[in-house]
Chain A
Amino acid sequence: MIQNSAPAALDSGLPPAVPAIEIHDLHKDYNGFAAVDGLSITVPQGCFFGVLGPNGAGKTTTIRMLIGLAQPTSGAISVLGMQMPGQSYEIRKQIGLVPDDTLLFDHLTGPEYLEFVARMYGMDRSLARDRSAELLHLFELTEAGRKLIGEYSKGMRKRVAMAAALIHRPRLYLMDEPFEGVDAVGARLMKDILLEQVRRGATIFLTSHVLDVLERLCDRLAIINKGKLVLEGTMAELRQQAAAGSESLEEIFVKVVGADHARESLNWL
């Protein structure tokens, strides 16, 4: 069922100098609270870009603004050389999204859902069915094909969501905690697929709390805290900026977000 020949590289149609994502001085306020506060990030094409930050740092809000689910209070967003929100319709055609909370219809089966998503991206029905079957096979969901998504485990739901993000061969992936709830085998499979996508020219913008995964997968990393960019660069650049020697990403992260202060102990705990 799966084609053995290597997939064609993506033709981005963009000059290499044009970044996949360019965020400039982005702000997002909720009733006076700054969820994103002057964030500026540039993600080159073909880059595996990881974003980490404590809970409430503004990661999900940033992704929501990138896809157009939330409007920035101020600032500029450019995705694949197009302006958001002005060209949001064109941008959406090129993006595959795996949100933190899956966007699945519980009363459809896995194949039905994948076919539905493919057709939303304008694929014809037979191609949608073929790709749906291939992706289900790839994600080891073929046997669950007759089950409704509402009956899937959390890991299976994530895998279907990932398959839905892949089905139209997007040039840019936005992924919010894609490995959450996925078992080790499933996570490994998803990582391999993502790396393959980067190899063929796609760009991945991923947030995760699993720091060792980010450390191993990402070409570049950004640490954000309280809506602001704290550090950004390759792993080596992060170590340099944080004056961290050979410390791991976890140690750098704890250091820069200021979470390593002494904690009070609770007598009863």
Chain B
Amino acid sequence: MWQQIRTLAWVHFRSMRNRFPRTGWGTILIWFLSLIWYGLFAGLGALLAFAIPVVGLATLRMAVPLALIAILVYWQVFPLATLSGGWSLQMGKLRVYPIKLSALFTIEVCLRLTTSPEAIVVLIGAAIGLARHPGIPVISALVLLLFIPLNLFLSIGFREALMRSGRTKRFRELRPLLFILLAIAPQFLARTEARRFLKPYLRVLAAVPATPWREWTILSLGGFSFLAALSVLGWLAIAYFFARWQFAKSLDEDETVSLSPPPTGSRTQKTGILEALWTLPDRLTRDPMAALLQKEFRSLLRMPRFRLIFGLACIFSVLVFIPLVLNGSRVGFIANNFLPIVNIYGLLIMGEVLIFNVFGFDRKAVQIYFITPIPFDTVLKAKNLAALFFILIQSLSVTFVAAILRIRVTPVDLANAVGTALVIAVFLISAGNLTSVYLPRPMDPNQTFRRQTSGKLQLWLLGSFIGLSVPVGFAFLARWAFDSEWAYLAVLLVDLMIGWIIYRLSLDSATQQALRGTEDLVDKLSKGGDPIGT
């Protein structure tokens, strides 16, 4: 078994090493940003290591269970809500080999360490702090580290269960809502009156006997009891068997089921709102634009990844900012610019699939745009129009959700929101046309949990958003200076005109690059993956 595990690790690192010479500034920047992100958690871990020894045991007994609840929720929810599941085995590539389930499971557990390394760093820091505490035996402090395997097992179990449920139509549609609720909960609690309301309940929850946080606290603070030890071992066993059960279940599932889209059902019936949407381009424009737009609408709305991201952009983006608006007086920058900010956030979420890598879902089928007699700029324009359409829908959805939640929405607010979204979209699409042909990357439309952007593309994203802050910043500045919504809209109009010129230039440039580098574009979009997905 260990030989196979070593081999899998070797294959993964070989493929990483083979890619390394092509590592560019984008990847280096991502490493740098990651270093800062994880550095912050390392700092928190170090702080805990030094601060805990001077904290009284009574305070620790109260704080540790709450902290463990927070870590558990963060570890299990954050990777799912951000669609970044860390490394995991690509079963489709491995199941043909005679590898035992136990070997695959062991390596999957090890790979899960990449899901939430920040939580591990914090736990290690806390364990060191407890070990240095004069009132706590070192051996007890080490029990805290057993919280790591508990979370590893649970994250495997939940991930596998959710991945499979994502293939069932009904659950797939509910999943984004679940994420939204889970992801919004901590901020909601922290920022609103609900905190006061829920605080006593949280304390009660922290004290519930036989819960992992309570039993781990008892043991790690030196209060040994057989019952607590039995509980900890019991939780570890439950988590282990849950993970193993879910992992085996996923493995058993027929590969064709996992790779193919969900059953068709009434999807292709020629009635309903979707059919009306798909035939809309025929009424508004002519071929080939109409056919290309139809193809985009049909394909995108059937892709689980797009649907999830679109759903998140429409609803999640509102909910994520609600606590900031509901916080007390309802004034301040975010409260005053709620809709534009929410729209920008929604665009950030949708950018990966609609703007910055427009051929990602087409993958090797991108060739069809080069072998049929249509101008390539028409293809790009169709992709851009489809993106604008979904951005407009997102913008209106956000307004609708905000109105339902009784956030102030006036016609001027709506104009501001749509105007801001439009201006930003034009600038982003201009950048996106270039990244789509210079940095194309195949995307799996059925893979909802994994980020699929390259380091270089993320660098472009960062650069684009920094660049965007200038024209949009001027609009905000104008409103502040003149205290007028009209000033804001006027600057947006100027921005739009500038954006249009930039768009035309980028379209020409992207078209020329695509025709010059057709082979490269097709090759990059035809690439497969490694045995371990990152």
Contact = CB atoms under 8 A, between A and B. Distances in A.
Interface in B243-301: 259-261, 264, 267-268, 282, 287-288, 290-291, 294-295, 298-300
A109 B295 CA distance: 11
B374 A69 contact: no
A108 B295 contact: yes
Contacts, number: 98
A125 B278 CA distance: 13
A254 B519 CA distance: 32
Given A68-B371, A103-B364, A105-B365, A119 B287 contact: yes
Interface string B355-393: 000000110110110111111000000000000000000
A125 B282 contact: yes
Contact of A120 (B259, B300, B368): B368
28 contacts: A68-B370, A68-B518, A69-B370, A69-B518, A69-B519, A89-B375, A90-B373, A92-B372, A97-B371, A99-B367, A101-B526, A103-B365, A105-B299, A106-B365, A107-B299, A107-B303, A108-B298, A112-B298, A117-B372, A119-B288, A120-B374, A121-B372, A124-B287, A146-B267, A146-B268, A148-B267, A150-B261, A151-B260
Nearest to A153: B256
A101 B374 CA distance: 21
A107 B518 contact: no
Interface of A: 64, 67-71, 89-90, 92-93, 95, 97, 99, 101, 103-109, 112, 115-117, 119-122, 124-125, 145-148, 150-151
Interface string B22-45: 000000000000000000000000
A119 B372 CA distance: 10
A117 B287 CA distance: 11
Interface in B420-451: 445
Contacts of B221: none
Contact of B371 (A69, A108, A119): A69
Given A89-B373, A105-B365, A106-B445, A70 B518 contact: yes
Given A70-B519, A71-B519, A146 B264 contact: yes
Given A67-B371, A69-B370, A93-B373, 12 more contacts: A68-B370, A89-B375, A99-B367, A103-B371, A105-B362, A106-B365, A107-B445, A120-B291, A122-B288, A125-B282, A148-B264, A151-B260
A118 to B, nearest CB: 9
A92 B371 contact: yes
Interface string B301-335: 01100000000000000000000000000000000
Contacts of A122: 287-288, 373
B367 A69 contact: yes
A96 to B, nearest CB: 9
B522 interface: yes
Contacts of A145: 268
Interface in B438-480: 445
Nearest to B278: A112
B261 A103 contact: no
Most buried by B among A101, A108, A120, A124: A120
Contacts of B518: 68-71
